[in-house]
Amino acid sequence: MWDKLKALEDHYLSLETKLGDPEIIRDQKQWQQLAREHAGLQETVETYRQLLSTQKELKEARELLREKPDEEMALFLKEEIASLSARREKLEEELKLLLLPRDPNDEKDVIMELRAGAGGEEAALFVADLLRMYLRFAERRNWATEILNSHPTDIGGFKEVIFAVKGRGAYSFLKYERGVHRVQRIPTTESGGRIHTSTATVAVLAEVEEIELEINPQDLRIDTFCSTGPGGQSVNTTQSAVRITHLPTGTVVSCQDEKSQLKNRDKAMRVLRARLLANMLAEQQQEQAEERRSQVGTGDRSERIRTYNVPQNRVSDHRINLTLYKLDQILDGELEDVLEPLIAHDRAARLGEVAV
């Protein structure tokens, strides 16, 4: 572990030197790549330096104690040694976690795709609830959000909504949200008061910059059409909506939320790059042939990662058998109580598999 930490610190220092190089500063694409790598190492290097400092202080305290000081000083040194020893153990555990192989996408921004599954209009309303939950969660963490495309329903729900989340570490948190979410509640339109079960699917894709994934323009077919949906002056009047088909893979993306055809095209390309990268990574890792499809599933009620039971104010995450009776707070964006146990479980599982 120590050799690895020293090598990381040396690399961190070399990156600092490169970031100050005038030639690299002029090449903004290269500079941004190096800056991201530097930022990704910062926490590990700072923790390593804290550990070295703690070990130095611990060594000095033990040497002073061996000199047999007076009783009062000896008591102070023993307390200091106990405190420094505990701090050293804590820092060593933190470093074990920091040295785990990282998901290369963890520091990236995110594109999330929410779609109504089983349950008709009630499922579309559930998508609207999930959208609000994620937007509020992003707001709590000072992340920026942007709606890229949506298909609203007449009663306030969404058949589909795609949005971007920009902020450091967004993917490292939100990647645990991918899968099928299930809600159990009495619909507002239900006169009999019966509890209905509906689902929504969530896909979480790392947003990709142009420099990370080049797409041959000849591989694209771009069509324009009139936007559709309830309301809006531009609906069915202008050819502002854009549909992009990636011919080699058959991937299709459409965006219509903007009145500008150019803006819709730019948004569609962002979603397309994210989907293509997800599929490429899935193939490289020899997982399912299409990661995005594995994230989403079919939307059937039996496929779920989490259940939201409204009458009981209960949230259950089925992956780690977590149950919380604070659904109202979670739907208001307080997702930390769900995500932090998932992150801890993932780290514990990987610590058991990886020798540091």
The 3-state DSSP class for residue 17 equals helix
The 3-state DSSP class for residue 221 equals strand
Fold that domain 110-211+301-353 belongs to in CATH: Alpha-Beta Plaits (3.30.70)
With left for phi above 0 and alpha for psi between -120 and 50, is residue 120 left, alpha or beta? left
The confidence score (pLDDT) of residue 287 equals 45
Query: Among 32, 5, 8, which Cα is nearest to 19's?
Result: 32
Q: How far is the first Cα of the chain from the last one, in angstroms, to the nearest whole number?
A: 6
Burial letters for 271-282: b for 16+ Cβ neighbours within 10 Å, e otherwise? bbbbbbbbbeeb
The confidence score (pLDDT) of residue 301 equals 47
Matching fold, domains 110-211+301-353 and 218-284:
no
Rounded Cα–Cα distance for residues 138 and 130 (Å)? 12
Q: Do residues 262 and 242 touch, judged by C-beta distance below 8 A? A: no
* Residue 136 β-bridge partners: none
Rounded Cα–Cα distance for residues 67 and 62 (Å)? 9
Residue 112 CB: number of other CB atoms within 10 A?
A: 24
The confidence score (pLDDT) of residue 286 equals 52
Residue ranges of domains in the chain:
2-98, 110-211+301-353, 218-284
Fold that domain 218-284 belongs to in CATH: Double Stranded RNA Binding Domain (3.30.160)
CA 301 to chain centre: 24
126-182 confidence digits (pLDDT tens)? 999 999 999 999 999 999 999 998 999 988 999 999 999 999 889 999 999 999 999
Name the DSSP class of 103. Answer: P
Q: What is the mean pLDDT of each run of 10 residues along the chain (356 residues)?
A: 87 91 88 85 92 94 90 91 94 85 82 92 94 96 93 92 92 93 85 84 84 76 75 56 88 85 86 83 54 48 82 94 96 94 86 57
Rounded Cα–Cα distance for residues 292 and 252 (Å)? 13
Cα dist. 92→48, 89, 228 in Å? 8, 5, 56
Any alpha helices (H) in the chain, and if so which ranges? 2-19, 22-26, 28-66, 71-98, 121-140, 170-174, 261-284, 291-296, 327-331, 336-353
